[in-house]
């Protein structure tokens, strides 16, 4: 039901609040603050027809507003909506699309207050704006660093309209309440992503914006806080439905979002400052993200899930564009991230690389002169496990590769880009999700790795180290030949991305058997060999096949099993108390083995 609101003078508001207090009504602890418990206008209260008359001043006048006529309108009985929005403060770094929504605020009867560049943009759009400096009586200073940090602004946001003492304090200082706030923050994340100098990045740390959002959000019983354009549009929709007011439910929702926005923003700044100070794992971990996407479901259909972006954009699954296909699920993104991370690394040792991942483990990986050949080799590594997998590439998709992909059942394809012809061919598989990243991540630069456990977060630096062959140590009588060394480097790179215990068999830049996630290393060796035998229909591995183990062999049994299957070249970290026993087993078979000196567990 639409209700016509009545404005009050300051004296009438105090009388109304006194009646409210004398009534002895109490707020229900179970439901929290309720707009219906705020003071109401008494019969006979003056009606002020519009904003300018209500404030008693022209809209662009720079003198302070007489607060004797600036009290928020009372609520109708037991209604969940608040008072009409009479005054709005707009201060945004991103001015895209602000003219029409702010014009809608004006048409709804709101006076607009603003600062600097935002005020100039609104005035160019033909909107009457009051300058903040005219309200505070204090001009901007320090190159705009200080604009809204003033009691006349924060008092207008923080005052509780139901508290007579608060309203008397505003009246004594001629401060009028602010009912709606729309603020977007300085683009700190964008400055980081551009790789600007530290001094310039510091200048993108917003101080006044977060302070405004927090002040308005703290007073959500009375203030509507918008931290992006979508919030403002949502508020306008409610104002249209509720005679210029918003509901308490919306205000609290937007307040929670505003606090989350400032927390995430501060977390990104804290992380950057910690990295500048050389503290990768600081005493307080400030981690926050912005929801980018609601996912189809979590690991299982009965679980809900969402994707949150953290910090500056980095090419990958989290920032990729979904150009076709069904909605993404939690598992789709986990697998796409695993596949794209590996393919980006393989691209550093081969011209074209392809990876197929299933349940976060590589089913097949390969390098080749071209992407079609790389895909066919990766697929041949384990065509059974590749069914319904995620395929990743380090080069843009072209029509020949797209035709090969369309002939297979895959859940997701992720690549840096795609030609129009390739996308046209993939469109024949409308359920296939195609993710385009617009680039490859730098494998040498990554953020922290975070995983939740009950009651806490585990945080670690990423596994960026990968000792090159030149740093490996030959521990057997026979050294690997040059062609074997190239395959060892390839297998070692793949093993880093396989769940422990990890064993990778490879030959000619292609995985030919992977043993992943087994509780004992010998079982992972057995699984990798069984995979090879099932696919190749061969009992023994071909000459030149190599083996990579993500951690040392605790006993010689796993190595002996591999040697019996035909393996004669091995790369592993070393470091077992039984290394001598393992080396002796390799020497007895004239096998070549190198130690890298670093382990690559992946859990």
Give yes or no for a contact between 173 and 166, defined as CB atoms under 8 angstroms apart: no
**Encoding tokens for residue 312?**
């500056």
Q: Which of 166, 218, 326, 508 is catalytic?
A: 218
596's enclosing H/E stretch is none
Active site residue 359: yes
Give yes or no for a contact between 224 and 193, defined as CB atoms under 8 angstroms apart: no
**CA 429, chain centre distance (Å):** 29
Residues contacting 548, CB < 8 A, separation 6+: 488, 491, 492, 494, 495, 502, 503, 504, 506, 570, 571, 572
Which residues are 355's β-sheet partners? 365, 392
Which residues are 474's β-sheet partners? 594
Give yes or no for a contact between 171 and 10, defined as CB atoms under 8 angstroms apart: yes
Q: Is 263 exposed, middle or buried (0-12, 13-18, 19+ CB in 10 A)?
A: middle
d(CA 293, CA 1): 35
Q: Token pair 């002020």 is at which residue?
A: 48
Residues contacting 179, CB < 8 A, separation 6+: 72, 83, 84, 85, 86, 87, 88, 110, 222, 223, 224
Strands 180-184 and 130-131 come out as: unpaired
Give yes or no for a contact between 226 and 251, defined as CB atoms under 8 angstroms apart: no
Q: Which of 64, 166, 326, 359 is catalytic?
A: 359
Other residues' Cβ atoms within 10 Å of the Cβ of residue 47: 12
Residues contacting 381, CB < 8 A, separation 6+: 356, 363, 364, 365, 366, 510, 511, 512, 513, 514, 535
Give yes or no for a contact between 203 and 229, defined as CB atoms under 8 angstroms apart: no
Give yes or no for a contact between 479 and 469, defined as CB atoms under 8 angstroms apart: no
Give yes or no for a contact between 500 and 603, defined as CB atoms under 8 angstroms apart: yes
**CA 409, chain centre distance (Å):** 29
Which residues are 19's β-sheet partners? none
Rounded to whole angstroms, what are the CA distances from 255 to 32, 102, 176, 260, 308?
15, 20, 21, 9, 19
Other residues' Cβ atoms within 10 Å of the Cβ of residue 330: 18
Which residues are 207's β-sheet partners? none
Other residues' Cβ atoms within 10 Å of the Cβ of residue 464: 11
d(CA 285, CA 288): 10
Active site residue 445: no
Residues known to be catalytic: 218, 359
């Amino acid at each position: 039901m639409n209700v016509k609101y009545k404005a009050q003078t300051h004296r009438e508001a105090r009388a109304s609040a006194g009646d409210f207090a004398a009534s002895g009504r109490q707020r229900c602890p179970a439901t929290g603050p309720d707009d219906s418990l705020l003071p109401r206008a008494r019969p006979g209260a003056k009606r002020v027809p519009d904003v300018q008359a209500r404030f008693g001043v022209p809209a662009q006048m720079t003198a302070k507003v007489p607060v004797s006529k600036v009290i928020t309108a009372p609520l109708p009985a037991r209604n969940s909506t608040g008072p009409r929005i009479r005054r709005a403060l707009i201060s945004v770094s991103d001015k895209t699309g602000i003219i029409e929504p702010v014009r809608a605020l004006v048409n709804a009867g709101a006076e607009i207050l603003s600062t600097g560049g935002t005020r100039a943009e609104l005035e160019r759009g033909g909107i009457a704006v009051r300058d903040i400096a005219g309200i505070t009586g204090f001009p901007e200073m320090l190159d705009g660093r200080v604009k809204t940090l003033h009691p006349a602004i924060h008092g207008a946001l923080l005052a509780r309209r139901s508290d007579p003492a608060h309203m008397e304090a505003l009246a004594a200082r001629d401060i009028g309440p602010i009912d709606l706030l729309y603020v977007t923050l300085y683009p700190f994340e964008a400055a980081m992503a551009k790789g600007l100098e530290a001094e310039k990045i510091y200048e993108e740390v917003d101080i006044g914006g977060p302070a405004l959002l927090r002040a308005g959000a703290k007073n959500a019983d009375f203030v509507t806080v918008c931290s992006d354009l979508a919030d403002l549009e949502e508020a306008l929709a409610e104002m249209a439905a509720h005679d210029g007011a918003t509901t308490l439910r919306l205000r609290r929702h937007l307040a929670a979002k505003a606090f989350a926005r400032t927390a995430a923003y501060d977390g990104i700044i804290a992380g950057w400052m910690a990295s500048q100070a050389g503290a990768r794992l600081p005493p307080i971990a400030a981690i926050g993200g912005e929801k980018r996407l609601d996912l189809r479901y979590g690991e299982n259909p009965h679980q809900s899930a969402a994707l949150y972006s953290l910090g500056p954009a980095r090419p990958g699954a989290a920032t990729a564009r979904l150009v076709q296909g069904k909605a993404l699920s939690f598992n789709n993104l986990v697998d796409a991230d695993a596949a794209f991370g590996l393919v980006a690394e393989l691209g550093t040792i081969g011209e074209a690389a392809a990876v197929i991942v299933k349940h976060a483990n590589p089913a097949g990986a390969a390098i080749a002169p071209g992407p079609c050949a790389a895909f066919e080799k990766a697929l041949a590594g384990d065509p059974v496990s590749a069914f319904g997998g995620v395929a990743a590439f380090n080069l843009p998709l072209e029509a020949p590769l797209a035709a090969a992909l369309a002939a297979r059942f895959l859940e997701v394809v992720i690549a840096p880009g795609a030609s129009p012809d390739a996308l046209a061919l993939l469109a024949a598989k409308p359920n296939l999700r195609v993710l385009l990243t617009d680039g490859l991540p730098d494998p040498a630069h990554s953020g922290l790795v975070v995983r939740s456990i009950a009651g806490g977060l585990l945080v670690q630096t990423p596994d960026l180290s990968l000792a090159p062959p030149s740093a490996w140590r030959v521990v057997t009588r026979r050294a690997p030949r040059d062609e074997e060394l190239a395959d060892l480097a390839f297998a070692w790179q793949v093993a880093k991305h396989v769940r422990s215990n990890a064993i990778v068999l490879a030959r000619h830049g292609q995985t030919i058997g992977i043993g992943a996630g087994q509780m004992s290393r010998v079982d992972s060796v057995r699984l990798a060999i069984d995979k090879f035998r099932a696919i190749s229909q061969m009992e023994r591995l071909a000459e030149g096949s190599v083996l990579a183990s993500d951690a040392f062999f605790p006993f010689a049994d796993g190595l002996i099993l591999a040697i019996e299957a035909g393996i004669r070249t091995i790369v592993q970290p070393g470091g077992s108390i039984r290394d001598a026993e393992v080396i002796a087993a390799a020497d007895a078979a004239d096998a070549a083995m190198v130690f890298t000196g670093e382990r690559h567990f992946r859990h």
